[in-house]
Amino acid sequence: MSISLEIDALDPLAVLESIFEPGERHFYVERPAEGFAVAGAEAVLSFSASGLERFAECQRFIDETLANTLAVGPQSAAFSGPHFFTAFSFFDVVEAAESFEAASVFVPRWQVALANGKTTAVANLLVEADSPLEALAERVWRARKKFGSFDYSAPDFQEAPPATPTTIREVGGEGAYAESVRRAVERIEAKEFEKIVLARAKDITASQPLHPLRVLNGLRQRFADCYAFSVANGRGQSFIGASPERLLRVSDGQLLTEALAGSIRRGATASEDAALGTALLRSEKDRREHEFVLQSITRRLEPLGVKLDFPSSPALRRLANVQHLHTSVRAALPDGVRLLDALARLHPTPAVGGKPRAAAVPRIRELEAFPRGLYAGALGWVDARGNGEFFVGLRSALIDDATARLYAGAGIVAGSWPEKEFTETELKFRAMQDALLG
């Protein structure tokens, strides 16, 4: 049973802070520039899958759950009704010791969302043949009272001084990334593939435990145009970040995706910033990398009968510390094609994998010194109406008590220089490192 309530304005992150438990799953995402935030916590139902059919298996779980769901309360509001919060790793299969499954989806016990200036709370209950109905009714009533008069005055979540690093270690060792880039360029010159995205990882050990939601609050304030997110596995680890890249949105039959590839730093002055942006727009290497992504989106979605509409030239997408080449892509979703059908075709894009996908992606494991997990994975939600949104797990870190593994990558094509790609990844590390330790 899924019960939706329209309530007075609440901050979903503050609600999540108040009910946060390291031993429970949660999913949080906010994009301040678009005016939405949603938090879901504690799994009523969950499912995991692995392998090439993981998207289809998750869709079957969603369909079966909805076929046995009674939704009550206003269903027209944004984020009303049951939502399925989902995380797909970069690879179809993950290693046994990784923190997250290759695909995981859960229905939260509690959900609070803010969109279009309105707050919607959802309580999801598992009702079985022998469920005590009076106890369930009492639980719903308590939830209504809690959300209807939420008290911020005495939060359990206490502010703490910033953590300081005791160690910062390059995973794989110093010089490993430059060597990987050189090996990749050699394979590109040998025509094995045209592009591959290679990432670095840094392990930080802090002076005290790192709270993912405290870090998240800083990320959403600094990166209003990004998806500030936290995904917890219910075993103490959280994957957090501030991703600039939408992978896919479906709303009322309309599909929206984007190509985001090609990067340069922000300038210290308006003149320098404009000059850097112009240089990026004129960069043959970056324009080629961007075109790879756009071509892949078109090629991947065409078999679904999707007719894409996008401008002929990329624009600049300026974030707090970096600017990218960006092209927005729109289409009507054909009858019978669902969000996860399109997502399965798109993920991973050349912006985080390579081109051709079949040749480049398998080489990533050989050239990187760590498992990716949810880094560059697909994170998001599907609702009961088939709408939903997924973003790419970038500018991110895996937090486990006082340790954090940070990730950042760069696209390698013909002409890539190890030193330049190293500098680009350092720039991308900065946002998360500052949020963790600033």
Q: What is the residue whose two structure tokens read 């799953």? A: 25
Burial class (CB in 10 A: 0-12, 13-18, 19+), 287: middle
Q: At residue 71, what are phi and psi to the nearest 5 degrees?
A: -105, 125
Annotated catalytic residue: which of 17, 57, 195, 424? 195
The answer to whether 392 touches 247, Cβ cutoff 8 Å, is yes
195 is catalytic: yes
Residue 394 vs residues 51, 125, 167, 252: alpha-carbon distances, Å: 22, 33, 23, 27
How far apart are alpha carbons 270 and 200 in whole angstroms? 31
* Torsion sign (Cα): 333, 338, 343, 344: negative
Residue 315 vs residues 89, 258, 262, 273, 310: alpha-carbon distances, Å: 29, 11, 11, 15, 11
Annotated catalytic residue: which of 30, 57, 98, 245? 245
Q: What is the residue whose two structure tokens read 């043949």? A: 129
389 is catalytic: no
What six digits make up the tokens of 115? 């969109």
Q: What is the residue whose two structure tokens read 């979903």? A: 12
Q: What is the residue whose two structure tokens read 């892949």? A: 296
Active site residues per annotation: 195, 245
